[in-house]
């Protein structure tokens, strides 16, 4: 698999949409706040509900992937929190560092790349990873983002409980368990899919708009630690979790590791805009920091993921 093929198939569409958002942010006075709210409360819940309700993976695989995502996320939170405190990172940058380190871009980057590299199993596994991560990012992630804005403890969890994605996952699981999932080709599920799919381009437009207003001089100079955590430490942690869980299907295991190695997700950007209350350190906001990390890790991921896919496909490590 060549670098050019990966770039053209999975990365170029992402950069193109983010680029449109960037140009929009540069040429128009666009407030990303309303777009964030629509994505957080409408589009993302529809995406995860449809993905989880229609996945074809077996129960054992579902359980292992879910456990793996939870274990990986907890491990990366602990590692990044420890390193951030050791380096003396203040809030809101500390919480932003934890968010970008623990939550990979398993959706608009991970799903197409996993499908391109590992076919149908790749897409199904990536969608399941996205669904489980969605529960974690909109509970634990919201708590961390709220902490960066001065909310903590019970108040942070109360804010998390107001995010509808959690209930969308519960509804999808309940519908599958009760056998009442509407037909995939029916009007109801097609509508949900249409709404959910629209979340991906909207998220990328939000990223571009935010990047257009980012102070790169102060932001990019501080993303080295986040890049090392996301593009070096995270794949190793993901590989360790995959070995510990012992996936029966090696393709599922390889996709799991690939998803863990994805660059920083756009979702933390949405969360810090929504919940950090605009807190800054030295003129640098959490949103600017997250935007710079997403931008830099996405660029760094091109060669890193190319090599990783080659290694995984060869069967050398798993």
Is the CB of residue 45 less than 8 Å from the CB of residue 165?
yes
Q: Compute the average pLDDT of residues 52-70.
A: 87
CATH number at residue 152: 1.20.1530.20
Domains of the chain: total: 1
Between 123 and 100, name the one with better pLDDT. Answer: 100
- pLDDT of amino acid 101: 97
Is the CB of residue 121 less than 8 Å from the CB of residue 252?
yes
Torsion sign, CA atoms 163, 166, 168, 171: negative
Between 30 and 280, name the one with better pLDDT. Answer: 30
Q: What is the DSSP string of 186-250?
A: SHHHHHHHHHHHTHHHHHHHHHHHHHHT--HHHHGGG-HHHHHIIIIIHHHHHHHHHHHHT-SSH
Is the CB of residue 145 less than 8 Å from the CB of residue 95?
yes
**pLDDT tens digit string along 214-238?**
666 667 778 999 999 999 999 999 9
Between 134 and 194, name the one with better pLDDT. Answer: 194
Reported confidence tier of residue 58, pLDDT bands at 50, 70, 90: confident
Quote the CA–CA distance of 108 and 198 in Å, as a whole number: 11
- pLDDT of amino acid 216: 65
For residue 275, give its domain range.
Answer: 3-314
- pLDDT of amino acid 155: 60
The three-state secondary structure class of 107 is: coil
- pLDDT of amino acid 162: 76
- pLDDT of amino acid 183: 94
- pLDDT of amino acid 145: 86
- pLDDT of amino acid 218: 65
End-to-end CA distance of the chain: 18
Reported confidence tier of residue 243, pLDDT bands at 50, 70, 90: very high
* Residues above pLDDT 70, as percent of the chain: 92
Reported confidence tier of residue 154, pLDDT bands at 50, 70, 90: low
* Residues above pLDDT 90, as percent of the chain: 39
């Amino acid at each position: 698999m060549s670098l050019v093929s990966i770039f053209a198939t999975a990365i170029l569409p992402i950069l193109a949409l983010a680029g449109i958002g960037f140009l929009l942010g540069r040429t128009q006075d666009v407030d990303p706040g309303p777009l964030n709210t629509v994505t957080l409360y409408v589009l993302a819940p529809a995406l995860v509900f449809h993905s989880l309700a229609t996945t074809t993976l077996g129960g054992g695989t579902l359980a292992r992937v879910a456990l793996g995502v939870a274990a990986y996320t907890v491990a990366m939170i602990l590692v990044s929190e420890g390193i951030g405190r050791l380096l003396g990172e203040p809030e809101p940058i500390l919480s932003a560092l934890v968010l970008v380190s623990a939550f990979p871009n398993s959706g608009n980057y991970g799903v197409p790349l996993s499908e391109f590299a590992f076919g149908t199993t790749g897409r199904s596994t990536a969608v399941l990873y996205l669904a489980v991560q969605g529960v974690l990012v909109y509970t634990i992630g919201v708590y961390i983002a709220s902490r960066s804005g001065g909310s903590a403890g019970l108040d942070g969890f109360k804010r998390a409980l107001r995010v509808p994605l959690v209930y969308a996952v519960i509804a999808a699981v309940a519908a599958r368990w009760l056998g009442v999932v509407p037909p995939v080709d029916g009007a109801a599920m097609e509508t949900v899919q249409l709404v959910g799919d629209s979340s991906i381009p909207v998220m990328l437009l939000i990223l571009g708009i935010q990047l257009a207003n980012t102070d790169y001089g102060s932001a990019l100079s501080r993303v080295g630690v986040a890049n090392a955590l996301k593009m070096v430490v995270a794949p190793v942690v993901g590989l360790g979790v995959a070995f510990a869980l012992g996936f029966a299907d090696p393709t599922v295991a390889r996709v799991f590791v690939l998803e863990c190695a994805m660059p920083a997700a756009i979702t933390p950007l949405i969360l810090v805009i929504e919940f950090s209350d605009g807190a800054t350190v030295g003129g640098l906001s959490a949103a600017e920091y997250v935007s710079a990390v997403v931008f830099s890790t996405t660029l760094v991921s091109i060669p890193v993921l190319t090599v990783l896919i080659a290694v995984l496909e060869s069967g050398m490590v798993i």
